[in-house]
Amino acid sequence: MRSPFTITRLDRYVFSQLLLGLAVTTVGLVALIWLTQSLRFIQLIIQRGLSPFVFMHLTGLLLPSFVAVILPITCFIVTLFVYTRLTTDRELTVMRATGMSDATIARPAIALAVISMIVCWALNVWLVPASLAQFSKFEFEIRNKVAAFLLEPGVFTPIPGHITVYIQSRDQRGVLHGILIEDARQKGEPATILARSGTLVVGPDGPEVLLRDGSREQIDPKTGRLNVLSFQRNLIDLAQSTTATDNAAPKTSEATIWQLFHPNPAQIPPATRKKWHAEAWRRLFTPFAVMSYTLIALIAVLRSPFRRQSGAIALVSATFGVTTLVALGIGVDSLAARQNALIPLIFVVSAFPALICLAVLLRIGRRARVMTA
């Protein structure tokens, strides 16, 4: 008797079609999402005068998050398409005629789902948080540090950190002339700085401007009088301090699993800790959805008889079922973030359909063996 773990030529044949379809579909859908999401960064790149390589680097850091979201859906689509084509080409009929049970026929798709689950775990636990953290850091550098070096004459340039800079001209040596800086970093005490000339230099936290022959005008909030301070040389930091960003708590999507399970009490308030705890379990549980969606597609194809009308109903039902699970998953994630007692529902929505479909698939195979005997 052949072992159920023996890999046959038919297994390799079906698995190769599934793998190729998964690769093509995932790349296509990820490219489509990348194009739609990257449009919001084109204006940023154009305004800053940066190269296309910077644009590719910035938006490329978002690709792992796109793959993590789309991979369960593409597994369902590819499994449904490949096994439906095998049915219409009567290849499944030939496989059953050779004595293969539906559970055996489903092995390539289940193997693909297991591999995809491992990939999803790697993405959720490690790659996606790391790439999103790098994305935020890189975007901060573009908006904050690079922006100051690309000041355009005659244009009011806003720089993150509540600073607006205006220069009248820039000569061939890079010296700025006719400088006006509106500094609102101190709440309630905005200051206006005027200077005849200045030079951009690189400081420890980013760009700084060395001003010459100017004045600093500021209204005293207590007396309401205008204070004017003249200077010959003055160094102004145009970059938001990196120490503030380094000490700030990371976003939920950028935090590691360890940070989500062990948040810093000084940075994360109690209400936010519930959200972090739910996010940690969501990353661990949601990869089970890959198996659930794949098995739903298998049940829809293997259970439906070879009739065009009933087959179409089964495919529509499977699509509706997966759509419902996706919607339930989003709703349960939101509820679990508010009430951690509902976290087990994330596992139920992700993994419980897989257990039901697996039991149905094994029951179909057992019934077929009984009828053959």
Question: How big is the chain, counted in residues?
Answer: 373
Q: Of 193, 220, 239, which marks where a domain is finished?
A: 239
**Does residue 154 lie in a domain region?**
no
Do residue 226 and residue 182 come from a single domain?
yes
What confidence score (pLDDT) does residue 161 get?
63
Q: Assign 9 a pLDDT band (cuts: 50, 70, 90).
A: confident
Look at residue 2 in the predicted model and tell me its pLDDT: 52
Q: What is the pLDDT of residues 107-143, one digit of tens each?
A: 999 999 999 999 999 999 999 999 999 998 887 777 6
DSSP 302-335: HHS-S-HHHHHHHHHHHHHHHHHHHHHHHHHHHH
Tell me the pLDDT band of 209, cut-offs 50, 70 and 90. confident
Final residue in a domain of this structure, among 217, 239, 261: 239
Q: Are residues 132 and 189 in the same domain?
A: no
Question: Is residue 86 located within the same domain as residue 221?
Answer: no
Calpha distance 311→318 (Å, rounded): 11
Q: Do 225 and 296 reside in the same domain of the chain?
A: no
Q: Quick one: 276 and 227 in the same domain?
A: no
Has residue 50 been placed in a domain? yes
Structural domain boundaries enclosing 97: 9-145+249-372
Residue 1 lies in a domain: no
Q: Do 84 and 223 have their domain in common?
A: no
Average pLDDT of the chain is: 84
283 with 136, same domain: the answer is yes
What pLDDT was estimated at residue 146? 57
What pLDDT digit, counting tens, does each position of 235-270 carry? 887 765 544 445 566 788 888 899 899 888 777 887
Instruction: Using the predicted structure, report yes or no on whether residue 363 has a pLDDT greater than 80.
Output: no
Question: CA 30 to CA 73: how far, in whole Å?
Answer: 12
Residue keyed to tokens 């890079």: 174
Determine what percent of the chain falls in helix, strand and coil, rounding each to the nearest 5.
Answer: 65, 15, 20
Domain assignment present for 28? yes
| pTM for the predicted model, two decimal places | 0.76
Q: Are residues 225 and 259 in the same domain?
A: no
Total domains in the fold of the chain:
2
Same domain, 320 and 174: no
Same domain, 26 and 70: yes
Residue 370: band (very low, low, confident or very high) from pLDDT cuts 50, 70, 90: very low
Q: Regarding beta strands 207-219 and 226-237, do their DSSP bridges make them parallel or antiparallel, or are they unpaired?
A: antiparallel
One domain, residues 54 and 32: yes
107 domain-assigned: yes
Domain membership flag for residue 359:
yes
**pLDDT tens for residues 27-57?**
999 999 998 888 877 766 666 566 778 888 8
